[in-house]
Structure 1
């Protein structure tokens, strides 16, 4: 009996690999298992190797596993590229169509199952993925009827005959594998608790958080790995009186979102690194005009087009310092799907309260990795609009202009909706006085710059650092951000079992940097290891800039396009002692 399983399906992109993983994982999620899935896919529309690795557990999991129990292969390339992940008791279930070859340097057992042949006999080779699902059921001794509801939902629109045929394919795969399977090869999963939980990617959580946070307009241009945010909102926003516009480019997307916010509508734009480069001038416009703007950046492999479908975390410096000139901005970095939901909703409050751009920083693993999520608590969501003037404004003496950029003690000026009586003012991207009129006065320039930066001096953000720090004088502090959290947590569990005292800090507010929270954690630790998916140690450098203690800080960098595995962090940590 096992309480955790790692399963991977692979083949050529475009032959149903994603749907195979979806059907398998949705069914197990509904049984109450916790899941974490990560897709490796090519930047091509069709062709090229792709795989979907899914972890199934009776307890919460937030990373892909080091090893593999079952590999389902639709071609030899899948076997060749992935078999080394299999442990000695692992199983390869391969389509007999390509005469699969058993790798010599593994003790895993290969079973050739005629996926394509069985599916063709039932009516179409397209059902070979369902045959593979049935074969997996045999290995896990699962009742195939757990998939009936999912198959009904996916294929129901095509008619009951299609549903029945797909279930026949599942049963045929089950029966064939059952007859071939060695008795001691069955992997019995412990029974799940049966509780209902969400199963979603980070991008869906970001989009849902935007809806909950009052967003009613999105302007964006499609780009991997951010497109799902736009696709989700295209489906949902119209029912709430909102809309999505696919713009001609990223520049238009950012400026449209600024315009919508200026008109009083909470608006969003989302992109990846290349798109954020195009948005930079507009982000500066948001800063100097003090218009709220929420931007999502889903990091991917760069530079330029780089590795558009692979994991990386190399946009930190760009998000903080990318704009020309200096403006206040807020950069948030959720580490789980739940945090992605709540943080995105909160981003709209911060954007309006501090009247500046707010960047929600994600990465490909968090945005596209699919994981089990406990039910979301909508009562935690509140709408705060800061100093937006919604009551009638008093008349201004001598029919003057409204002081939209009034120099205030907290740095936040009163804000009005265009067209409000007695609220007339200028809005321009050049430096301006309190009413918005262009001004090149040195005194005015200092006053406006100082005012803008005062806004974020006392920024209030709930949980700027996720801390698991039970030790007063730890041997090691591991620091990360975004999707590395799950792998770090698992590595720490193993390190603690070895007798090491390890604390964990996951930074959720990148800018302004939470120095007060991080300084005592760094000071108390003998060693500090910063884990990040980039080549230059950007988070480590930001940590050194704001906290010091550079002699303690060590890097663990990975920039090959793949996410961290728990054993990699464990091994690197052990090297420090």
Structure 2
């Protein structure tokens, strides 16, 4: 990817200084200008204050991840400088709050420093809170951020608050432009010029899950707020009433999954979203969803664990819990999203699979993807196939768990004449009545597990990135896939024989595809953001492959250079 068309800007400072809104404004303006955008943000778990960072990657070509590091760094305070100064390498541009800020940095050799008195200018304007507007004005001039689209974004944001507030923020923006224009620019960094706008939207991973739920025909949503999943509920709450659906804020995660089971049993397409601690609490009722064959969707936006762990940080460490997190033998489907587009499309798929196979489905996202915003094609509702559950036709004597050819039994909504049946977490026979028979228990296990086994062949289980044989095959999952894509492209450009294998269906595991891929590679490397190498564990358990785990768990995702360097080390 040409650096002339690919720029990474990082803004960092104190939480509450407008770091996140600055990044959001820049990202939205670049998207409106027809460019590709991928963002990454991290912020503290404290209510107020603490270090916050927002990184925007802008390109005229498609981007798959947040990039290695920044080309341009804008520090709002001394803490941000101290935490990032080791990344200031020759050639990077460094915009900092001086004079009038709380620090005077030492500019490393080869780094291009641009002092902008953000704090002082904001105070002179009469409000320190306008500091981020001043910074944004300076950045727009220095790095070619399209002024027209930036003004549109700012106007749309602040006009709802009145002309006075809008005018003040635009005045601060103009002051920042004036300060930026007074600086002699000596680097070549610039955002690519605007292109013809595409039919795209810019949206976060969490909002995209909410959008997918609405597009998938969601009728009932119950949730208990938890970082980093809460924004899904906020999106659904805004839109589900338009479809005459219902959202309930439950008193805890156990209540939320119980309400989802109840609403689904009553005939409504239902879901919830949570993070690792909440999924742990839901494990017993997920077992009941398996036993009762109740369509259920749980979105798990993973965060650093265990226990309360790292509430606002990135991790991919819930795979063990998602696949085996319940007592007894309880089948479920586990999917994992790669990017924001997947968050839309695969939420529709997850609702469909829950309805089609009458089982719990867990859709795994993560903290990085939850808050990342990306440009994606505007979803077209008519392009999605919507599946609803198999319902009883009213003929003959109703048996809720009757053995059918596809092992999926018709459901009867409560109140359906003749459709009365027992719903219980106890093992049961075809009628739903409790049964203690060993033969029946084994038969019902075969039914519940058997109906989802064909998924490994029928649900787009994997994507292969590359043809022929390779010295190293990279298997990875979740948002790490986007990082691997770029790493593989770089390695191929340097003459290395590398290919990728990207599963989206995590369980049931498409074992045949794993085995076939491994036969074309001399070595298998599995990068993932957890300590134990959880996907590597399942690969060893379910296949003959002996992968090389590559794990990090510091609260941040991989970048492409890390995987490039690891492949070279393996070779």
TM range (shorter): over 0.9
Correspondence for 1:563: 557
Q: 2:459 aligns with which of 454, 457, 462?
A: 462
Q: How does 1:54-133 map to 2 (within 5 A)?
A: 54-96=56-98, 97-103=100-106, 105-133=108-136
Aligned residue number for residue 50 of structure 1:
52
2:365, 2:458 → 1: CA distance?
17
How far off is 1:143 after superposition? Answer: 5.2
Cα RMSD for the two superposed structures: 1.5
Judged with a 3 Å threshold, the aligned counterparts in structure 2 of structure 1 residues 321 and 106 are, in CA distance, closer, same or farther, namely farther
Aligned counterpart, 1:140: 143
Alignment of structure 1 residues 417-566 onto 2, 5 Å: 417-459=413-455, 461-470=458-467, 472-550=468-546, 553-566=547-560
Give structure 1 stretches of 5+ with no counterpart: 397-401
Given that 1:102 and 1:110 are in contact with CA atoms closer than 8 Å, whether structure 2 keeps it comes out as no
Cα separation, partners in 2 of 1:388 and 1:343, compared to 1, 3 Å:
same
Is this contact kept in 1: 2:7–2:190, CA < 8 A? no
Q: TM-score scaled by structure 2?
A: 0.96
Q: Per-residue displacement from partner, 1:29-63 (whole Å, max 9, x unpaired)?
A: 10011111111111111111011011111111121
Q: Are the counterparts in 1 of residues 73 and 94 from structure 2 also a CA contact under 8 Å?
A: yes
Q: 1:415 aligns with which of 411, 418, 424?
A: 411
Cα distance between partner residues in 1 of 2:507 and 2:367: 20
Which residue number in structure 2 is paired with residue 399 of structure 1?
A: none
CA contact (8 A) 2:107 2:113 kept: no
Return closer, same or farther for 1:171/1:148 CA change in 2, 3 Å cut-off: same
**Matched position secondary structure for 2:297:** strand
**Gapped regions of structure 2 (runs ≥ 5):** none
Distance across 2 between alignment mates of 1:99 and 1:220 = 42
Classify the secondary structure of the residue corresponding to 1:2: helix
Deviation at 1:439, TM superposition (A): 1.3
Q: In the alignment, which residue of structure 2 is the partner of 1:232?
A: 235
Instruction: Please give the alpha-carbon distance, in whole angstroms, between the structure 2 residues aligned to 1:377 and 1:365.
Output: 26
SS at match of 1:198: strand
Alpha carbons 1:69, 1:87 under 8 Å: kept: no
**In structure 2, the residue corresponding to 1:575 is in which secondary structure?**
helix
Q: How many residues were matched structurally?
A: 566
TM-score by length of 1: 0.95
Aligned partners of 2:458, 2:75: CA distance in 1, in Å? 46
Task: Select 2:300's aligned residue among 297, 314, 325.
Answer: 297
Match of 1:407, SS state, is coil
Summarize deviations over 1:371-409 as a string: whole Å, max 9, x none: 1112223333112224222x4x1353xxxxx21011233
Higher mean Cα deviation, 90-99 or 221-230? 90-99
> C-alpha displacement at 1:493, in angstroms?
1.4
Once the two structures are superposed, residues 255-303 of structure 1 have per-residue CA deviations (whole angstroms, 9 ceiling, x without a partner) of 1001111111101111000000000000001010111100101111000
Deviates more, 1:362-371 or 1:226-235: 362-371
Rounded Cα–Cα distance in structure 2 between residues aligned with 1:317 and 1:113: 49
Change (3 A) 1:344 1:142: closer
In structure 2, what is the Cα distance between the partners aligned to 1:44 and 1:9? 19
The residue correspondences of 1:354-365 to structure 2 (distance < 5 A) are 354-365=357-368
- Residue correspondence of structure 1 range 137-216 to structure 2 within 5 A: 137-142=140-145, 144-182=147-185, 184-185=186-187, 187-196=189-198, 197-216=200-219
Counterparts of 2:231 and 2:249, CA distance in 1: 13
1:329 pairs, out of 313, 329, 332, with 332
